[in-house]
């Protein structure tokens, strides 16, 4: 299986979109998206300096636009899984078919502006914590009134909160940990961003969504999200919720991902994956930064992607497990039974409790793909429903 990853804020580099403008239609596409985002994406991606593209209101739509622009030149129909880090999740949702590209760009513009405004309310910031025992790091973060905004795996956790609390935290760091102050506008993915979450939610409520066409992993818990409306709610909630990229990478391992492409500006997520998913079975990675990298990315998809027959879509859908655990089918639900939209067809028993699995279309339960007490991973097919009604 191949995964395409969309990076988040902090991965941007001055001029990183310059070479992409040479591709047919790229400049026109970016001008259209600039009108939706309310920023000049061409200027930001080609001429702006590091300070200008560090501005949250500009960075967020720029990153989503870059990922979507590059993905237009890939055979995405052969890609089985997508995920994005922080604002990159908007790009991933569009690549999964949950959002139109125009909606993802528009929401990224709103998200960036509103988060920048929230940062101005009170002096806040973020600090990277490298090394140390993860449980001790989290406990020390919370002891100082801070929040674990990002848990990126590979020994990296990001603390966020008020500047005075970050200073005290740096003066009393966890054992064997190194703390690096990050040059960011404020405490992203914490309750300090609540005004931005409300503003984004007000706009997102009018967006038309679809269910994912491929596995889409969520930053919230690393789970595969199977309903478009739920994904939209998670995208809004993500503004104040911590990013659990460590759990996303765990799911990549559980699903046996063998190939990874990071969209531009690439490098950050590829580095995390390389450090976390090492050893036997480590995925082959391509960092897609310029059009010159497209050939390698297409080759990776050809070797690790799904097989596309280009035939009409069959009249059935596969229901997948939303999280890791033990599968339990619904009592009395047998193959051949009619299933209605929203009906609970089973549950995944996790350490945190049972998670319901619902049908996102009406039809006939044609086949169980997992059975009682089978261990399942997020995104693993558990049932096939045929003859879906519109």
2-118+191-304 belongs to which homologous superfamily? Malonyl-Coenzyme A Acyl Carrier Protein, domain 2 (3.40.366.10)
Annotated active-site residue in 11, 86, 127, 218: 86
Give strand pairing partners of 129.
Answer: 157, 179
Top-confidence range, 9-13, 37-41, 375-379: 37-41
User: What mean pLDDT is predicted for residues 264-278?
Assistant: 95
- Token output for 361: 């279309």
What's residue 387's pLDDT?
60
Query: Which one of 189, 218, 323, 360 is the catalytic residue?
Result: 189
Q: Is 189 a catalytic residue?
A: yes
Q: CATH number for the 119-182 domain, one of 1.25.40.10, 3.30.70.890, 3.30.70.250, 1.10.10.10?
A: 3.30.70.250
Instruction: Please give the full DSSP string across 61-128, using - where no structure is assigned.
Output: HHHHHHHHHHHTTS-GGG--EEEESTTHHHHHHHHTTSS-HHHHHHHHHHHHHHHHHHHTTS-EEEEE
pTM of the model: 0.81
Q: Which tens digit of pLDDT belongs to each residue from 82-105?
A: 999 999 999 999 999 999 999 999
Give per-residue pLDDT as tens, 199-242: 999 999 999 999 999 999 999 989 889 889 999 999 999 999 99
Q: Which two tokens stand for residue 215?
A: 């596995």
CATH 3.30.70.250 residue ranges for the chain: 119-182
User: What are the pLDDT digits (tens) for 324-360?
Assistant: 889 999 999 998 899 988 889 999 998 888 988 888 7
CATH of domain 316-389: 2.40.50.100
DSSP character at residue 224: B
Which range (74-78, 279-283, 377-381) has the least confidence?
377-381
6 catalytically annotated = no
Q: Where in the chain is the domain with CATH 2.40.50.100?
A: 316-389
């Amino acid at each position: 299986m191949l995964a395409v990853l969309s990076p988040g804020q902090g991965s941007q580099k001055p001029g990183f979109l310059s070479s992409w403008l040479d591709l047919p239609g790229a400049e026109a596409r970016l001008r259209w998206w600039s009108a939706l985002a309310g920023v000049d994406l061409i200027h930001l991606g080609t001429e702006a300096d590091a300070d200008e593209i560090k501005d949250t209101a500009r960075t967020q739509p720029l990153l989503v636009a870059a990922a979507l622009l590059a993905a237009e030149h890939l055979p995405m129909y052969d890609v089985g899984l997508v995920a994005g880090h922080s604002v990159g999740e908007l790009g991933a949702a569009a690549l999964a078919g949950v959002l139109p590209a125009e909606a993802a760009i528009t929401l990224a513009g709103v998200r960036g502006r509103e988060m920048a405004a929230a940062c101005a309310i009170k002096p806040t910031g973020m600090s990277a914590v490298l090394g140390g025992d993860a449980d001790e790091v989290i406990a020390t973060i919370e002891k100082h009134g801070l929040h674990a905004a990002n848990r990126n795996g590979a020994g990296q956790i990001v603390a966020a909160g008020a500047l005075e609390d970050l200073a005290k935290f740096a003066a009393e760091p966890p054992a064997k940990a190194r703390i690096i102050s990050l040059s960011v506008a404020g405490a992203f993915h914490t309750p300090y961003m609540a005004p931005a979450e409300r503003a984004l939610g007000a706009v997102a409520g009018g967006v038309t969504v679809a269910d994912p066409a491929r596995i889409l992993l969520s930053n919230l818990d690393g789970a595969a999200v199977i309903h478009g409306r739920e994904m939209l709610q998670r995208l809004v909630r993500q503004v104040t919720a911590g990013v659990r990229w460590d759990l996303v990478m765990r799911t990549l391992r559980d699903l046996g991902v063998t190939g990874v492409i990071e969209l531009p500006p690439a490098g950050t997520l590829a580095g995390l994956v390389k450090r976390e998913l090492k050893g036997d079975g480590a995925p082959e990675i391509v960092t897609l930064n310029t059009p010159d990298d497209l050939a390698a990315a297409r080759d990776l998809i050809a070797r690790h992607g799904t097989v596309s027959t280009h035939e009409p879509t069959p009249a059935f859908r596969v229901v997948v497990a939303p999280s890791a655990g033990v599968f339990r089918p619904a009592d009395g639900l047998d193959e051949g039974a009619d299933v209605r939209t929203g009906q609970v067809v089973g549950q995944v028993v996790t350490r945190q409790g049972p998670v319901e699995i619902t049908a996102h279309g009406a039809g006939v339960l044609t086949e169980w793909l997992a059975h009682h007490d089978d261990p399942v991973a997020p995104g693993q097919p558990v049932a096939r429903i045929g003859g879906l009604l519109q």
